[in-house]
Amino acid sequence: MNYPPSDRRTNLRGIILVTQVKMGDERKYFFGYAKNVSRSGIFIQTVSPKKVGDKFNIEFVIPKTDILIKCSCEVVWSRQYNKSDKKEPGMGLNFIDLDPSVAVRIEEWVLSHAGSEG
């Protein structure tokens, strides 16, 4: 397992449920759950996480908004499925080239949804 403790997070995170995230090229879709988002990245729950250091394009819309996240990202931590572990398998992604105006909109969304599910 290779993931950082949560106290290393520098940005507020909002709970989010996205069921369709486009990763990689336009012919491949990843179906899974995006579980939380911040202006700097996202956690995606999946039983098939990519490897730390992998880079790819990502695209999704925050539900019930017009906030489109479309950028390159990098896997910064990954947790494989383990039936004895209570933590969800998945990967933490860092947004690499997210438009700064979109980052501000994400932060505003997170602040407005603090304590509620998105």
Global pTM reads 0.76
10-residue stretch averages of pLDDT, the chain, 118 residues long: 45 54 61 78 88 91 88 94 88 95 93 66
Q: What span, in angstroms and rounded, lies between the C-alpha atoms of 35 and 38?
A: 11
Hey, what CATH class is 11-112 in?
A: mainly beta
Residue type at 99?
D
Q: Supply the pLDDT for residue 2.
A: 46
Per-residue pLDDT, 110:
87
| Per-position b or e across 84-118, b if 16+ CB within 10 A of its CB | eeeeebbbbbbbeebeeebbebbbebbeeeeeeeb
- pLDDT attached to residue 106: 92
Residue 23 DSSP SS3: strand
